[in-house]
Amino acid sequence: MRLPLPFRRKKDFEESEIRSVYWVQKRLCESDGSLILLDTARDLLNGYAIARLIPRLNAQPKISDLGNDFSLCYEVLEREIRIFSITPGFPELLEQSYELERWAVPAWRKYGAFFIPRYESNALGCEYFLNRGIEAVFSLPKNSMLVFAAKADQELRKRIEKRKRGSNDLLLVKIAVYSDEKESLEKCIGNVKKFLYAPVKVKRRSFSFEDFYSSILPPRMPKFGVRVMSASHKTISALPLLPTAGMPLICYKRTAKMLAGDVNRGPIALGRVEGKTFSLDVSDFFRHAYLIGQTGSGKTNLLKLLIKSFHNLGYPVIVIDPHGEMSEEIACTLKDSVFLHPILSPFSINPLELPAIDKNQGILIGVDELMNLFTNVFNLPETAMNVRYILQTVTRRIYEQGKIPTLAGLYRIIAEIYSNRKAKKDFLGDEEEILKSLPEKSFISTLSRLQSFAKDEILRKLTSSTTVDLERLIDEKRTVLFSLPQRHIGLTASALIASTLLLKIYYTKLMRYDRKKEEHVFVVIDEFQNLQGLPILSTILSEARKFGLHLILAHQYAEQLSREVLQAVMTNAGIKFIFSVSGRDAEIFAEIDPGFWKEIKSTISSLPTGCCIVKLSAKSGDQSLPPILLEVEEFREKPVRSLKEACTNDFRASDAEC
């Protein structure tokens, strides 16, 4: 006889439960009665953002505020009902109707059940939705949970077109219930079935901590078949799924504080809004800033104003400029700034130098970051396993001998192995024969990526050692201008040095945090898209501000960034400056954050040069401000020295290899 619940053996489940409780303790913390997902555990959400929705009085939310990729979790507790939204970011429009308790999560439940179409033939012929919407939640027993999720999926549309059934307006739908007790779960299933008109059956299962939080994410199309729940966008938009103030057991906010001085907030004056001076406080930039605008829109002018303002306020500023013109102008107007250029004011940064931490941990990080840099800068695909093995093996051996590798040194050693010259056995050991047995094209592919850094004198010196003491420059609160002109050193080298600098700045600030907790460092990165391949980038965006590192990121158009990186930037940036953008940019913004785009779309199409839309994220307890149309002040600082006077040989490197 088949059991109704396919749970594992009791002993196995108890062991799994103990492990899951341990995960809970490591990945959650409690704040004001809510469970908060820690930064280190947010990878469980696969790039999504979660927030508890607390309705504002008299708000009129719409399901369209969530976009076409969302999950709503209704948690029924003893004395209240909590609702959580899971979306690709934190939609701006939601903040008008709700106070968002960001990264608050529902409690882990042991057991769950998913509703699926009874027959595959029902999948595209019926619409699956909760009739009367949120009313289904009030029928659930205590300490249980209901999930309703929907997602626009391209694969679903392809299969609809292939089978010539269903509408292109369909969204994937997920409906599930959860509980800590099997008996309670069965009650949930029976109650929710009353709100589903289409024929369904139920799949039951138990959950570990990680599996539970993965299961409440928006649905994904299975690899095979179309036995999935779906409903039209029109149907879902009409459902009363969102909570409002006054509903039973749902807490709400009666009032919200208004921001004091909407346009005059601090000492950083940036221009005028409706004839009034617009200024921001330095703390407004602690959650990062994002600038986007086409060439000639005024984006670079705003970057200059920000650099000057941070400098005048006495904060350390590090500028990464892949073109060079902006850093040259700033160097001439800020007399005590440090101007570094591969040729005019030479310096060196070794991408392979380990961070100042435990040796074994440093080697792991060094090898890992080497792979990250190569993946980002040299377009090294995941399938290039032999190239990765060659680089990892040789680099690790050099580290283990207590030496610091360089790109030129790697080239020389790998070239010797490739040409079958006799190498020292105690260097590579048994792995020497493995390396020599690899295909010739693997070595050619590896050497071709390293060749310019070994043969070109400028690039060899640029990456031979690290002559820039970031710790000292930060201690001295200097403005450091890294000019990395692609016309002089090429796109690859420019991107490599920019990526290396960001990593070194991040690790430097991380190591200093315990003794410099009140220190704030600003990093301005133009043409930010060159760094988007760094796997650690999303971690830096989400965690760097906790260590006092704040990024000012700028680029020209949305398609330069992958959807994942753009979503991470939009989610983590506390201030957004949107200059004139193209029609394609408009489509991308509309897909990623429909609420934000709805607010700015009427203005964005007619922005003149030098004007931008500013969107400030609300601080805790404040209402979200509407977008502001800013006329940016022109940067008119007079030069106080020539570019030749700004150049220095203090950071010149010797031509050294490992």
Average pLDDT, the chain: 82
Q: What is the bridge-based pairing of β-strands 549-555 and 521-525?
A: parallel
Q: Is the dihedral of CA 293, 298, 304, 310 positive or negative?
A: negative
Averaged pLDDT for residues 435-447? 85
pLDDT score, position 589: 75
Instruction: Using alpha carbons, select from 480, 501, 488, 495 the residue that is nearest to residue 351.
Output: 501
Averaged pLDDT for residues 180-190? 94
Q: Within 10 A of 103 (CB to CB), how many other CB atoms are there?
A: 23
pLDDT score, position 371: 72
The larger pLDDT score, comparing residue 259 to residue 343, is at 343
DSSP H or E run through 561: none
d(CA 147, CA 74): 6
pLDDT score, position 225: 64
Instruction: Using alpha carbons, select from 118, 175, 113, 185 the residue that is nearest to residue 149.
Output: 175
Percent of the chain with pLDDT over 90: 32
pLDDT score, position 238: 86
pLDDT score, position 595: 65
The larger pLDDT score, comparing residue 600 to residue 262, is at 600
pLDDT score, position 92: 78
pLDDT score, position 519: 92
3-state secondary structure of 340: strand
Residues 571-611 have pLDDT tens digits of 889 899 999 887 777 777 777 667 666 666 656 656 788 88
pLDDT score, position 521: 96
pLDDT score, position 259: 39
d(CA 529, CA 525): 9
Task: Kindly tell me if the per-residue pLDDT of 395 is higher than 60.
Answer: yes
d(CA 532, CA 379): 12
d(CA 370, CA 350): 11
> What is the SS3 assignment for 418-442?
HCCCCCCHHHHCCHHHHHHCCCHHH
C-alpha dist (Å) from residue 523 to 286, 306, 309, 633: 11, 11, 13, 21
Instruction: Using alpha carbons, select from 310, 253, 302 the residue that is nearest to residue 284.
Output: 310
The DSSP code for 58 is: T
Task: Kindly tell me if the per-residue pLDDT of 168 is higher than 50.
Answer: yes
C-alpha dist (Å) from residue 650 to 111, 340, 459, 618: 65, 10, 18, 44
d(CA 376, CA 532): 7
Instruction: Using alpha carbons, select from 90, 87, 86, 59 the residue that is nearest to residue 73.
Output: 86
Q: How confident is the model at residue 253 (pLDDT cuts 50, 70, 90)?
A: low
The burial of 232, by beta-carbon neighbours within 10 Å (0-12 exposed, 13-18 middle, 19 or more buried), is given as middle
Averaged pLDDT for residues 177-187? 94
C-alpha dist (Å) from residue 235 to 43, 136, 157, 168, 232: 32, 17, 17, 13, 5
The larger pLDDT score, comparing residue 506 to residue 513, is at 506
Task: Kindly tell me if the per-residue pLDDT of 315 is higher than 70.
Answer: yes
Q: Within 10 A of 28 (CB to CB), how many other CB atoms are there?
A: 19
CB 117 within 8 Å of CB 220? no
Instruction: Using alpha carbons, select from 484, 633, 528 the residue that is nearest to residue 290.
Output: 528
Task: Kindly tell me if the per-residue pLDDT of 142 is higher than 50.
Answer: yes
Which domains, from first to last, does the chain contain? 10-238 (no CATH), 285-347+472-573+633-646 (3.40.50.300), 359-460 (no CATH)
Q: What is the bridge-based pairing of β-strands 549-555 and 289-292?
A: parallel
Q: How confident is the model at residue 232 (pLDDT cuts 50, 70, 90)?
A: confident
Task: Kindly tell me if the per-residue pLDDT of 495 is higher than 70.
Answer: yes
Task: Kindly tell me if the per-residue pLDDT of 522 is higher than 80.
Answer: yes
d(CA 546, CA 536): 16
pLDDT score, position 7: 39
pLDDT score, position 348: 94
Residues 79-109 have pLDDT tens digits of 889 999 999 988 878 877 888 888 888 988 9
Task: Kindly tell me if the per-residue pLDDT of 76 is higher than 80.
Answer: yes
Q: How confident is the model at residue 258 (pLDDT cuts 50, 70, 90)?
A: very low
Q: Please give the model's pTM, rounded to 2 decimal places.
A: 0.61
d(CA 51, CA 29): 15
